[in-house]
Every structure is written in structure tokens, then in C-alpha cells.
Structure 1
Amino acid sequence: MTERRQVAGKQKKATRKVPSGGRPPLGRPLAVASVPGGVVLIAIDAAGRIFSVKSPTGLEFDGRRFDVAVTTPSGKTYDLSRARAFRLAAAKEEYILSFVEDRPSGPVLIIASSGDLKNFKMKHALAGAGSAVFVSGGRGSSEEMLIFSRGGATLATKFSELKKKQPRVVEIMPLRRGSFDSGGIVPLAALDTERGTLLFYDASRTKGKSVELAVGAAVFSGDYPPLLLWRSSSPFWEGLFAGEQEANGIGAAVVGDSLIFYWTAEKASLIAAAVPNPFVLPPARRLELKRFPRNPIIEPDPYAAFEAGGTFNPTALEHKGVVHILYRAVGSNGVSTIGYARSSDGLNVDERLSYPVYVPRETFEGRAAPARPGFDLSFASGGSFGGCEDPKLTYIEEDGLVYLTYVAHNGYSPQRVVVSSLPIENFLAKHFNWSFPVAMSDPRVVDKSACLLPEKINGKYVIFHRVFPDVLIDFTDDLNFGEGRWLKGEYTIPPRPFAWDSRKLSIGSPPIKTKHGWLTIYHAVDDRDPGRYKVGAMILDKKDPRRVLARSRYPILEPRASYENEGKAGIVYPGGAVVKGEELFVYYGGGDRVACVATAPLERFIFELLNEGKPRLSEAGVIVRR
């Protein structure tokens, strides 16, 4: 395999002391990790406060600070002031923080996890281990792994092995005599590529009154135990930092087309070496939906009172090549009902009924108008003042029923999620004799965006819904709710800190079963862009839909078209998705006014979703980032 020096020449001028801007000093930096939109750093200040701070460039850490706590399984807070060798890594749906505690019996590696980068809970302890980096299982790695140092050698273990009293540990990279890294190595960071794991490690050493910084690189197979495929025979990067006797590596990050390596030292709080990245190219935004050129496909009809105010947030059900579309219809009286349309090709509407196919029937989905006493605008949405909002369709073949879930609103109390159903034969024949509506959520809680998984898991219905800011998941034996029996929100899919979906998210379309898992389209809002709804995608585990296998790093659709910014600006709101032939069709509302569709080749879309942001290692040893 081609050596690193043949790919890119050594660089020695990129080292710099990182400023802290006008903020208080960074204190002692502990660990860094790449996150969407930059780099997050965890540090401890002079008062012993642990905090995280993000930098979009990876160099100026002067943003807002968030408190960080690490607790034991019993709830006791760790005193991290004397811990060392911290490392931070992003897993699929959480962050992994590791550090070493020096105990009388010897060093112990502590591993903790967090879903929000604020509250870490200890998961595992490994005696005798030093600095460690986490490798997420993905396209290139068959297992989640921990790579760590011990006595200068580099070892690995499966993450699942850490549950055992005596985890199986294997040496994957021995010490080399007479090499730049003969004094021992310290893992800095690992990237999971399609062909294996790329490991960066620190091999720095003291030279007189300076520190000779050196970074090595190695590539391992994705199998376990991992096989060493390639290792740099000279430093991947090296540089001299004067005035320090010692520097401790705390991690590495990828920012755009740069690699940044970080150390902390006594005089210089944080040292960063930013170098052009010969392995990784900037990500190309290939995971996107293509709008139908003749959008919108359904618009308000000023001559039909029930949908004169809006026709948006559509859902869809495909059956024998025909796409049946239900959509939220806002009438001239401000009440939401549900309309019906039909499409043979999934794009053009062949039929559209002139009357609503679902109307409010219960007090919790009343016909409130603005003049009603006690009307509370804080619960209004989509320009409506009550009714049946934002439908979602799921056909469960085992039951022979089409299930309609929607948001019920009476105009003056919190929205609730509701389910109704009818036999598939009646639905196809347009005999819309829906069953009695059943409210599933607590009347005291604003609950929205409910849908059912199209199959039962272990005999149980799987219900997704949203209580701000999380997607909640419940497993139930039946759909009989009421009299104090409500959805509990047993499991969560939370927002991701610093990502495009950092504020809130909701399931948009009922999941679609594929050979890779349940493909799920969702919408979300970014804390940094709170006025705009965007669309993303997830893959959920086929047998355990609580597990997120992949989640889009960037939005797959943003409100840029004119019809997505009229009515209410900045809204793309998916409600349904179907597969027709080899094409994925996603139906969404634009601007809280019209119904639209966007498409993508299904297999290519899923491939890009599973591999988005993963480096690809070529035969020549160069990594290409998608």
C-alpha cells in the first residue's frame, strides 16, 4: 500500500497555539471530537467546572459553553480534576468519553456515554488500559471496537466484550525498534472507512527545551480481530514546538478538507496542528431528494369551502401501483379536515374528491373557531383553529386494516395524537367508514406526529410520536387507550447537539421496510436556524426499531422553492413516503399551504444514507470522503 509520504509531503508550519477569543481562558482542554458543523472540545476550568464548547473551524473555541457531568451507575459525580488521557468520539446516536483513573491497584480506563454531550454515564471500566479511541461499527467495521494503549503496544477489544469481567484483548500493532514511534504510541482518533479503520496516533517526544510533535497513521481491516494493513514508516505529520517540555495529545478532528491534531501543554493551553488532509476530501451532498418540476401537486381550491385555506402535509399509501394520498385540508372556517387524491404515477393527480374523507367527530378534535371563548392561539398550527391535522397512513397486512393517525385539536387545549382505521377493501373502494377515533396521548401534553410501524414487532404495535423535542417510541399489545392509559414514550430518538436537527425532530413518514432496515423520513429544526423546517432520513433496525443504524448528516430537503416559502415561510413537512418501482417518493407540505412530492432512486438513496460521511479507501491508499 502506498506510503503517506508519497501521497502528501511532510508539513511543519501548521502548529499554532489556539486563542480563546474574548472568552475566559480554556483552562485545561481534555478531549476533542468532530461533530456536524465543526469540532467540540471538552475542558475543565480553574474552578473544576467541566464544559463543552464548539468551534466551526476547530481553532477558535469562543462559543457558548455547556456544563458537562460524568456520573457513576449509582449517580455519583466523578471528580475529573485528576483524571487523564481523555478521548471523545461520536458513535451512531451517542458520544463516547473515555479517561484514565490512577488507582492504588493501577490505572483503570473509564468509558462513559451521552446522548446530549452534557450528561455522561459510566458504562464500562477496563483495568490496565491507557488512552483509548472508539471505533463505530459500520460499512468498514464489523464490530464496535475500542483501540487502546498498554505498555507502548496497541491493543483492541470488541465493545461488547467490556461487559465481561475478563474481556478478550488482542494486540494489533506492536512496538517498532528504530522507528520514529519506537518510544511508544498514544491513540488520538479513529475513522471508520469502507475498507477498515484508519487510526491516527501520537508519537511525540521531548527534544531539549522543545517538544518534537509527531503523528503516525495506520489502517486496519474491518474484521475482528483487526488485521494491520498498513502503517506509516515515517511521521504522517511532524513539527517542533518550542518552550514546552511535554505535550499530551488529546485527539484529532476532520474539518472540511483539513485534519487537525490537538495537544495540551503546561504553558500553551491548547496546541493545534491543522494540515491539508491527503486522505479525506470534502463531503459531496449526494443524499438529496429531487423536487417534482410541476410541484405543487395539490393546491387549495377557493371554490371548495373545506379546503379553501390550505391543502398540505400529505401522507400516502401505495397499493398495486396506485398511490392514495390523504392531505390536511383547512377550510374557510379555519377547521382542518382530511382530503383525498389519487395518482397512478405518484406524481400527477388523476382524481381528487370534492369533499373531505375524514372530519372531526369528538370533542377533543372540535370545530373551534377564533371567536370561541377561551381559544388559545399558542396551540394553533398551520393556520388552523382546530380539527384533524397532519394525517399519516399505515397499512398493517396482518390486521387487514389501514390505520390513520393524526393530530387532534379542539382549539383551546394541547394537541393529541389519535388513531382510527378501516378495512383495506373499504379504503380502496372509497367507502370511508372510519372506526371510532381513539385518543392515544395524555390530554395534558402536547403530542404530535404519530404513526405506526407497518408490522408488529414480537406481536406488539410500534407507535412513533413526538413530545418536544424527541421522537418517542412505544410498544403496545393493542390500540385501546383512554381512562388514564396513554402513550408513555418508553424510548427516545433525541436531537443531535450541534447538528442540523439539534432543536427538535419528528417522524414524517411511516417507515418503509427495506433489506437494510426501516427507511424513515423525518423533519427537524436546527437551534441555529429555528424558523425553518428541514427533512432528513434514518434507517432503523429491522428487528428493533429503537436502534438507529444511520441518520443523515445533512438535510435531504430544505425550504428553498418559492411554494415552500409562501403561506408560512421556511416549511417543508413530510407526511408520507412510498416506493414505486425502484423509486422513492416523498410527499410533503410546502409553506403550510400546498402538497408536494420529491423523489430519489431508492437503492442509491439508501447506499448514500448508509455511507454518508464515511471515507472510502482506494487501492492507492487515498481516502475519498462522500
Structure 2
Amino acid sequence: MFTVTRNKKNPIIKSNNDEPWRALAAFNCSPAKVGDSLHLVFRAMTDEALYKGHNVELSTIGHVMVDPQTHHSIGEYKVLIQPEEDWEMYGCEDPRVTKIDDTYYIFYTALSGFPYSAENIKCAVATTKDFKTIDSRQLVTPFNAKAMALFPEKVDGKWTVILTADSDKPPSKMAIAQSDNFDDFLNHDWWANWYEEVEHHNIDLRRVDTDHCEVGAPPIKTDAGWLLIYSHIQDYFTDDKVFGIEAVLLDKDNPRKIIGRTRYPFMVPEESYEQYGQLPDIVFPSGAMLDGDILTVFYGAADTTCASAKLRLSHLLESMQMEGKSYAKRYSGNPILLAKEENYWESSYVLNPSAIEIDGEINILYRALGPDNTSVCGLAITKDGYTIDERLDEPIYIPRAKFESKLKPPDGISGCEDLRAQIIGDRIFVTYTGYNGVDPPAVAASSISIEEFKNRKFQSWTEPHLISPVGIDDKDAAIFSEKINDQYLVFHRIDHHICADTLPELDFEKHQLDRCIQVMGPRKGMWDSLKIGINGPPIKTEKGWLQFYHGINEHHHYLMGAALLDLKDPTKIIGRSAMPIMEPETQWELEGWIDNVIFSCGQVVRDDTIFIYYGGADTVVAVATLSLSELLSQLNEA
């Protein structure tokens, strides 16, 4: 599991109206180290103007020296490569820099005609030793191609490049080319022979035919293999494209062989500078740099500016090579609770448990349904966190109010759903979804003293009250365990977002939620792309509030992730998992009442172990564990 931290100084390179060559945009930068200094080369664009009889937004390649930490300029901006030859006369785009020996090889896209078409978009290369003078430039490919990058050393004794062939004649091919002699890359007859077998050279990273993949940064050598950061575009042939940044690990000696890859994009457009620009909603990787365990990804934002983000290489590699799809360790004895035929109220399904620890015992408060599809809450107890020591034969919480009592039909779904329990002071407060089968689902709340709960005086639950806005579909609510700024903070879910609101006191007859302060939303194209909601109540740690949450992807699978929130202001996100912590894998998570579901309403922390209690496929209850310290370390990388 890992998080991605965007540079707080983003965007790091922007357009400038005072310099016509970069008046419209400056984006898709690639880094190069020269001694202790850091240089960036980038694509720059003019405003539309008359050029060789056409109105053109002309692209050139710019250069600037930047601060190695902030990536902001500390030198003069200048044009490094501009159109000179016929084969690049209408633009030089998207440079990728690789150093071998004392020479920097800058591969770029050369445009030979206008209007732009596949026939006039090809790859070229320029060389320099100091980023002051271009020593040579030549056309490389005789066919349509983009995004070529040179490996930083020979692979199995051969010069090696990776490129996107047929970039404008889809389906494109992200392909490897190798030769004993670099000059072969400048020989069009050599490329003609290579292209005849382009499918053999192709590394097809598309998941479906409607995907489009392009080379991003030049490959980086790691102990595990060649790391390639690339662009993965979903729904490419529609007006609803989703640009994402992904990674693939290639074999050290045979880069056509895939060792591992990310299962989802780890970056999609989220920030305003990524969502708004001359081409909105684009993040496009163009460079990467490794410093110890810190991987910096440089990317273009909305085809307008340059930006950078950091993540830990070791955590990225772990996610790409792990067995299975989940970081959490499932208990070998799962599932720990099944439906119980002899008890009508829980004879169909048990699911979506909450959990609290009292006097060394973990109390699992789980949702249960019988043939009449009424949701109630059952109770099971475990001392070791895994083994069920006791399970009550009667529910501990049942529908009592009109808003949660079945109206129609007789077997329609209704009741008290997905209860979340939180200990505050000497009481246990529960929030849950109250549903009568007619009105929109709403958040309800009740409480009981710890002593009454321990003595099983479940008739002592306070009268339930709706606390969410009237007439609004609202679910997935939990109360923070202590006041923040003299207010009780409550998370809930409206319109697929995790929202926050405050209550001055926990008197639900007097006070209700009436705001949605958006905390987190879905990330289109990522593992949590459709909607999100909290899992269990937030957990206070020394690093921040730990919030597990569920995300639903485009296949309508329910997955689990986590976020770390600021202790003083939990609406501020410190870190958010780029990959899911758990996703459905076992048979009882993949198949059930609702297939492909992992859904938790509660976690318990014992020393460094987090016990995650969850429902599988809305049918059974299971448990998995995580290291608290490791999770906090990964979420707190910023």
C-alpha cells in the first residue's frame, strides 16, 4: 500500500505571456541531473499565430534549471530545441531525456506537416552535453510514433529504446527496440524491418480494447527490474477519456517480459491545475527520478503546466509484486460468522459488522437478516480477536421507529442497517441506516450505557432519532470519539462523498446534521472511482485520525482503503491509499447475496495490530489484520 504526495509548490512550470514561445503552455517536463544541479526540459507552446501560411500553436522544447527540492526555477528559461529541419518544421513536442556516458539524449516528437496527422507525427532525437548547445538532431522513425525514451544503460549488451508506435493510428503499440549499434536507430531501413514485426515487440498493457497506453518517463533501473511509469487512458475512443498514471516492472535482461504492474492508476486528475487548462482533466507522466527510496514523477497537468509528485519506490514495488490483491492478512479460519438457520432473524445473511472492545473482549455487532429481509443487529464476542466465544440467540437492536419499520411489501428490505458503534465517555453510541422501504435511507442514532450493555439490558437503548437531513439519501455515518474544537464531528455520506458536520452535543432529539462539508470523494479511474463511504468510526492515533473507507469501482465491486486525517482538523487529508488495502478474492467475498463485496463497519486496535471485521459478499462475517505502525507510516509519507 502506498500514497502519492503532490508537490505543494505545483505547478512547477507555467506559461508566461511575456515570453511568446511559452505564452500558451509549458508542460510534459523531463528531468536531468548535471552534477548537483537539476535541469528540466519541457514542451512549450505559443499562442495561436500565423506560421507558414497556417494558424498554429507552435511547440518548442524549453529548458530551465530548478531547485532540486521544490523544482521551481532558479535559472533562466530558454528555448533549447526549435523547428529547423523539414521533418520537425511544425513543432517539437514532449522531450524525454536520458544520460549515457557524457551525452544527454533528448528524444522528442517531431511534426512535419499541418494539419497534424499520423503521417506527419514521428520520433526524433537531439543530443547535448551541457543543455546549452544542441550537438546533433535527427529524425528517428519513418512511421507514426511518439513518446520514445532511451534506457539509461545497455540491456543485455544492446542499446534499448521504448516507444509508442502507431500512436495516432490506434491501436497503438508500446514497443521495445534493441540494437548493438545506436546508429541503427537513425537508419530508416532498419526501422522498416523492425516495424514488420512490431507486434512481436509490443508490450500490451491495455486491460480492455478501449484503453490506450503511451510511454511516460524513461525507464529507471531498480534491483527488481526496469520501472516504467506510463500513461494509461481509459475509454480512449470516447469524449469521456480518463487519464491515469500507472507503473509496470520489466525484466532486467528481457524488458519485453512483465514482472509486475499496478492494478489501477495511482494518479488521476484531482487538483484544479490538473482539471482545468487548454485540455482539461489530464495527468500525463513525462519524467521520473529516483533518490534513495523516493521516486519523483514529473507530469503534465491539463496540457498546460508541469507538476511533480513523490512516492516510495519500495512501497510501489511491493504493490506490483505482491501475491494476491490485499495487504491485510485474512484469518485462516474465515468466515467467523455464518447465517444461523435455527434463528429466524439471522437465518439468511450476516454481514457488515462493527466492533468495540470492553474489558478485554471484542464485541462484534453485526447486521443480520431473515427471510422477511428485516435488518437487525446481532452480537458475538471474541477474546482473541478471531475465535467466537459467545453468540447471542436474540438480536440486541431491532427496528422500533416508523422510519425503520417495514411499510411495504411484506418481504421488502427494511430495518437497521450497517450499524457503527463508538464508545464516548461511559456510553456506546450507534449510528446506522434506518430504512422503511419507502422513504430515502437516512442516518439514525441511539445510545446505551456501557454498564447496561455489559449486563445485556438491551431494552435500555435510547429512542432512535434521525439525524441526517430530511428527504436526503444519507448513509455511512459515525461519530468521532471525542470533541474537536468543542464540537462533536460526524462523518456521513451524501452524493457518493464522505461528508462532515458538527453537533454541539449528543442529544439527537435536539440536534441533527444539516451540512455536507466534503472531505473525500471518488477518484474517477482509480479503484474508488464511483462512490465512497466510511467503514468503521475514525480511530485516533498519534499521527492523526485513521479512517478506513470503502470504494466502489467501475465494475461495482466494493473494496477497502484508508486515509489519515489531521488530528486538529479531520477534514484535512494527510494521506490516502493509492491502492486498495483489501479487495474481494475468496469465494465467500466473490459470491453471495451481493457478489464482490468487502464491507466493514468496525475495527479494533490491540497494540500494533488492527483487527478489521468485515462482511463478505453481504453474506458472511470475516476478520483480517494489519500492522498499525506500517499503515500509518505509509499513509504519513508526506
Question: Which consecutive residues of structure 1, in runs of 5 or more, have no partner in the other structure?
Answer: 1-35, 37-88, 111-127, 136-146, 160-169, 176-182, 186-202, 219-230, 378-384, 615-626
Q: Confirm whether residue 434 of structure 1 aligns to residue 461 of structure 2.
A: yes
Change (3 A) 1:335 1:369: farther
Range 592-601 or range 279-288, more displaced: 279-288
8 Å CA contact 1:129, 1:148 repeated in 2: no
In structure 1, the residue matched to 2:78 is: 184
Contact 1:90 1:96 in 2 (8 A): no
Task: State whether structure 2 residue 428 is matched by structure 1 residue 389.
Answer: no
CA distance in 1, matches of 2:398, 2:66: 63
The one-letter code of the counterpart of 1:448 is K
Once residues 92 and 453 of structure 1 are traced to their aligned partners in structure 2, the CA distance between those partners, rounded to angstroms, is 30
> Given the superposition, is the C-alpha separation of residues 485 and 405 from structure 1 closer, same or farther in structure 2, using an over 3 Å criterion?
closer
Tell whether 2:342 aligns with 1:400.
no
CA distance in 2 between counterparts of 1:340 and 1:93 reads 47
Match of 1:315 among 328, 332, 354: 354
| Alpha carbons of structure 1 residues 484 and 321: separation in structure 2 relative to 1, 3 Å | closer
Code of the residue aligned with 1:427 in structure 2: it is: F
Q: State which of 592, 605, 612 in structure 2 corresponds to 1:579.
A: 605
Q: Quote the residue 1:100 is aligned against.
A: 15
1:475 aligns with 2:502: yes
Q: 1:547 to 1:413 in 2, by over 3 A?
A: same
Deviation at 1:293, TM superposition (A): 1.3
Q: What amino acid sits opposite 2:574 in the alignment?
A: L
Cα-to-partner distance string for 1:570-623 (whole Å, 9 max, x where unaligned): 111111111112211111111211111111222223334445xx9xxxxxxxxx
* Secondary structure in 2 matching 1:235: strand
Report the Cα offset of residue 94 of structure 1.
14
What runs of 5+ residues in structure 2 fail to find an aligned partner? 31-41, 45-61, 115-120, 125-145, 153-160, 169-211, 222-226, 228-248, 250-260, 262-315
In structure 2, what is the equivalent of residue 466 of structure 1? 493
* Contact 2:147–2:215, Cα closer than 8 Å, also in 1: no
1:152: how far off?
Answer: 5.9
Matches of 2:594 and 2:476 in 1, distance apart? 19
TM-score, normalised to structure 2's length? 0.57
Q: CA–CA distance in 2 between the matches of 1:134 and 1:208?
A: 23
User: What is the percent sequence identity of the aligned residues?
Assistant: 28
SS of corresponding position for 2:15:
strand
Q: Could you say which residue in structure 2 is the equivalent of 1:594?
A: 620
**CA–CA distance in 2 between the matches of 1:239 and 1:278?**
18
Query: For each residue in 1:299-333, what CA deviation from the matched residue of structure 2 results, as whole angstroms up to 9, or x when unmatched?
Result: 11111122112211100112343211101121343
Is 1:607 the counterpart of 2:630? The answer is no
Q: Are the counterparts in 2 of residues 323 and 342 from structure 1 also a CA contact under 8 Å?
A: yes
Alignment of 1:133-152 (within 5 A): none
For 2:112, the equivalent position in structure 1 comes to: 243
In the aligned structure 2, how far is the partner of 1:512 from the partner of 1:172?
A: 41
The alignment partner of 1:306 has SS state of helix
Mapped contact 2:421–2:429 kept (Cα < 8 A): yes
Cα gap change, 1:477 to 1:233, in 2 (>3 Å): farther
Kept in 2, the 8 Å contact 1:210–1:240? The answer is: no
Q: Structure 2: how far apart are the matches of 1:450 and 1:360? A: 18
Q: Which residue type is aligned with residue 545 of structure 1?
A: P
Aligned residue for 1:30?
Answer: none
Give the distance between the partners of 1:493 and 1:403, measured in 2 at CA.
Answer: 24
What is the alpha-carbon distance in structure 1 between the residues aligned to residue 536 and residue 332 of structure 2? Answer: 22
Deviations 1:218-240 (A, max 9, x none): 9xxxxxxxxxxxx9964264358
> Does structure 2 conserve the Cα–Cα contact (< 8 Å) formed by 1:335 and 1:369?
no
The reply on whether 1:500 has 2:538 as its aligned counterpart is: no
CA change 1:526–1:242 in 2 (3 A) is closer
Measure, in 1, the Cα distance between the counterparts of 2:426 and 2:163. 56
1:32-70 Cα deviation digits (max 9, x unpaired) = xxxx9xxxxxxxxxxxxxxxxxxxxxxxxxxxxxxxxxx
In the alignment of these two chains, the number of paired residues is 425
Moved more, 476-485 or 567-576: 476-485
Aligned to 1:209: 86
The 1:590/1:533 distance shift into structure 2, 3 A limit, reads same
| Bigger Cα displacement from structure 2, 499-508 vs 428-437 | 428-437
In structure 2, relative to structure 1, the CA distance for the partners of 1:312 and 1:134 (3 Å cut) is: farther
Match of 2:483 among 423, 448, 456: 456
Determine which of 543, 559, 577 is the counterpart of 1:534: 559
